[in-house]
Amino acid sequence: MIVHQIFPTVVMEFDLNSKVNTQLLYNELRLMEVKDHPLLSKNAGSSYDPGKKNLLDLEIPLIKKLRQSIQESLDAYTNEVGLLPCQISNSWLSVMNSNSYLHAHRHEASVLSGAYYPHSSEEAVGLTFVNPLMPYKMCEVNEKITGYNAKEGTLQAKEGILYLFPSWLEHRTELNTVDNRMVISFNTLNTPPGN
């Protein structure tokens, strides 16, 4: 038997712990102001503001190093899947405390999106991706759940880990049960020719 996976959805994981000191980064980020955001429940906040400077554009050496590491990861992703190169277009910090969650959404006007966890714990809620093929599987009756028919897949919010995924891939969280789950999220656009 030969199994052909014709239309896989690629979510890549990068361990940035050897490149970025998460404890020092946490010390910088915990001073940032976050506020209510419509995609986050109460007990959570975000620095997302289209009119303000992007988090990953801040002139802080540790954040500049993180941005460079993220860009290297984006280059690896686009090379693997055959996309034109992408660069970060906007970025923000979100902090989830106990009894909070992230509503299901996708990232409009973006090619790839990412979630980097500068501060988290094993008990923190993971990032859940929704299977985009479910509307087309209306007649399938499953005997067991596999990677081919699962409605969702969840990846752990591990400190120092970066996840890259197509921006059209809907994602959310279940209820978070711990404080200070931090994520730096970002969107990308194709790199203009000549850059």
The whole-number average pLDDT for the span 14-37 is: 96
Give the pLDDT mean for 78-92: 96
In the chain, the N- to C-terminal Cα span, in Å, equals 45
CA distances from 115 to 105, 180, 183 (A): 14, 15, 6
Give the tens place of pLDDT for each residue, 48-65.
988 777 999 999 999 999
**Nearest partner of 155 among 189, 120, 112, 180, judged by Cα:** 120
pLDDT band, residue 128 (cuts 50/70/90): very high
Distance of CA 119 to the CA centre of its chain: 14
pLDDT at 195: 67
Distance CA(157)–CA(155), nearest Å, equals 7
Domains of the chain: 12-138+148-190 (2.60.120.620)
Q: Residue 166: name the closest of 81, 89, 75, 70 by CA.
A: 81
Q: What is the mean pLDDT of the chain?
A: 95
Percent of the chain residues topping a pLDDT of 70? 99
192 or 2: which carries more pLDDT confidence? 2
Which pLDDT band, with edges at 50, 70 and 90, does 115 fall under?
very high
% of the chain at pLDDT higher than 90 = 87
State mean pLDDT over 118-126.
Answer: 97
Q: Measuring CA to CA, which residue among 120, 83, 107, 104 is closest to residue 186?
A: 107
- With vertex at residue 124, the alpha carbon angle to CA 169 and CA 49, rounded to the nearest 5 degrees, is 55
For residues 127-140, average pLDDT? 92
pLDDT band at 116 (very low <50, low <70, confident <90, very high): very high
